[in-house]
A and B are shown apart, each in its own frame.
Chain A
């Protein structure tokens, strides 16, 4: 956490400086000559250093795998190197990347979600069409459909390459559940009662990282996903739906009820990622909602022996009259990698051809889920039984994805939503006030 903070503070300064420079030089974006579908440009491969601006853990599987692959490529192509510039803290990363985009200084490769901002970049022909690229490289069929779909814009176009595949579960402590006499909730509406029973036993029902805000925003997405499907949030951002619609209303009321039932730890809004996870792994909280990127911490022997045998997981519960299947939940393929169309040349293409071909094998060997279907994940030696169960589950997920809302809404509405959600769950505002504020924010910010 401390490094995140420091980085954030540093970035704040850097971004401010960059913006000042921007203003001073009067530099504006736009204007382009690159063709995003020209994925096989003519010319000689001249090895040089290429950079990838990314937002992934510094010692994580993706970076480790890509470093290895870059070294292998450099053996054949002397003079080549891959410069990985990572900013794992997502809000800081987004600020960095958007400021660089405004300054026209994006490197060859950069990470982005399928956000409205990224769609603008694609609209300006600043990103290579990945659909065409993967076809041309003969890799399109290797990818999991869900992994590619997660990266697509609303119009179905694809401009980012997935490097991961994750499933988000509700991890829970069976011992604490048994002690409180509660079952795994069958529907989302069972959550408040589950929380009250756990609270009565003096247990924090759900550990929540409120500081980073996206974890609470996931909860906002659940009810509408079950009730109205993945289209609801798309309609919302396009102005075709409102928070006052039944799905939005139900979500607001559900979250308010969770807050009233004391589901989250007190003071959750200032609890960080590591602290929230520690609440669960120390046996103080009964439920923890997180993705398979934490398998190494939750499903191996690194887990505290005190809770190791009582950890299990369940997937997103359904509701009565759900329009999405039980096997459809939050299954992201992580932040995607975009290819800068302006710096795209034979070298970038050649490296991507080599790297994307080689990547699944190297990555799956680290125990992670590959976004492709052509490899098997290596289960680590110290894994618990949960590990392989989670990995197998990846092959059984449905086609529809509960998209994280923070990648969907425009940033101003998203900020407001995150702020109001905290107030809603803390009981500082009512569901009706929440809906009114959010619909007003949506109207104000949706002018494009």
Chain B
């Protein structure tokens, strides 16, 4: 249902990276416009059926109370009233989703930028390093979840706690997935870690496209490392940066599998995200109406997030 919804948001948005040049439309011969339409229409229809229709259906369903087997009962906006005023789990899950988003973005975008920058300075073995960093992105989520469950484990002692013991920090040993203070970070890190390589690859591709001459000229003029990065490299990769930010944000906002597999939202609601909560509401509580209301919220949340990113990053681009 709503599982596919934010995907559409993510897939639909990264259209033109640079502002369209007035030339581009006139470059096509007039008669081929029809053929463009012929090629664009089927995916557009598919998008409508697979993405827009379920959103409308969810919107409709969110006005009802329905357990799947008895008749649907119209309740108006009560599901939304419950969501916004009576349900403390919803707000906890919303807060957690934002925390999860923040950690994922720092790891994925920050980590990717650092690694990509270092990679451009690497004289050889770049392909090897790239491959190694990309590896987690191709491992199945379930394998990653099991891997991290072992890493975080305390009884029997897992890798993380073992390393802490080796360096003499036994006092910091913790059951990372059972402590309400650490669990959110513990479930966010695997998600951030696994896609760092992917974004690194995208940013790296943008970085190597920055003209060498510009950087060299700037260095000759006495620009520091930071000035070269901030005045030359970053403005050059900004369009790619916007795209990766949108991708990472929408992916993180609909993050589901790793928290679900590692802790199932627990302990308590300490690692419950809106997505896991929506899933539980639908398929464990069989409260499809309320789950639809939550999924509508997730769609709105994704749209707002993408809008904000455009607003913030675009404006600086214009200035």
Contacts of A121 in B (CB 8 A): 69
Give the contacting residue for A428; candidates B145, B257, B265, B268; CB below 8 A. Answer: B268
A399 within 8 A of B: no
Point out the residues of chain A lying under 8 angstroms from B72, CB to CB: 28
B178→A98 contact, CB < 8 A: no
Cβ of A269 and Cβ of B266 under 8 Å apart?
yes
Q: A124 near B69 (CB under 8 angstroms)?
A: yes
Bound complex: CA of A429 vs CA of B267, how far in Å?
12
Q: Which A residues touch B178, using CB under 8 A?
A: 210, 266-270, 426
Residue ID in chain B nearest A17 by CB atoms: B3
Known: A20-B1, A28-B72. A444 touches B283 (CB 8 A): no
Which residues of B line the A interface, CB within 8 A?
1, 3-4, 53-54, 57-58, 61, 66-72, 82, 86-87, 89, 141-142, 145-146, 149, 152-156, 175, 177-178, 180, 256-257, 260-269, 279-288
Residue of B nearest to A278 (CB): B156
How far does the Cβ of B143 sit from chain A's closest Cβ, in whole Å? 9
In the bound complex, residues from chain A placing their C-beta under 8 Å from that of B58 are 23
A19 to B287, CA, bound (A): 12
Q: Which among A117, A416, A444 is the interface contact of B286 at CB below 8 angstroms?
A: A117
B192, chain A: closest CB distance, angstroms:
19
B contact residues around A23 at 8 Å (CB): 1, 54, 57-58, 61
- Measured CB to CB, the nearest residue on chain A to B263 is A270
Residue in A closest to B282 when the chains form the complex, CB atoms: A19
What 5 pairs across the A-B complex have the smallest Cβ distances?
A267-B175, A102-B68, A270-B177, A29-B69, A423-B268
10 contacts between A and B (CB under 8 A): A2-B142, A5-B261, A19-B283, A94-B284, A99-B283, A102-B68, A267-B177, A270-B153, A444-B82, A444-B86
The residue on A at minimum CB distance from B279 is A12
* Interface band, chain A: 35 or more
Query: What is the CB-to-nearest-CB distance from A433 to chain B, in angstroms, rounded to a whole number?
Result: 11
Q: How far is the CB of A262 from chain B (nearest CB, A)?
A: 12
- A266–B4 alpha-carbon span in the complex (Å): 38
Q: Is the CB of A419 within 8 A of B284?
A: no
Question: Which of the residues A120, A204, A269, A411 comes within 8 Å of B285, measured between beta carbons?
Answer: A411
Q: A23-B58, A28-B71, A102-B68 known; A419 and B283 CB under 8 Å?
A: no
B67 touches A120 (CB 8 A): yes
- Cα–Cα distance between A101 and B68 once the two chains are bound (Å): 8
Partner of A271 from B69, B71, B155, B265 at Cβ < 8 Å:
B155
Considering the complex, give the chain A residue whose CB is closest to the CB of B156: A275
> How many angstroms between the C-alpha atoms of A412 and B283 in the bound complex?
11
Given contacts A99-B68, A120-B69, contact A9 B141 (CB under 8 A): yes
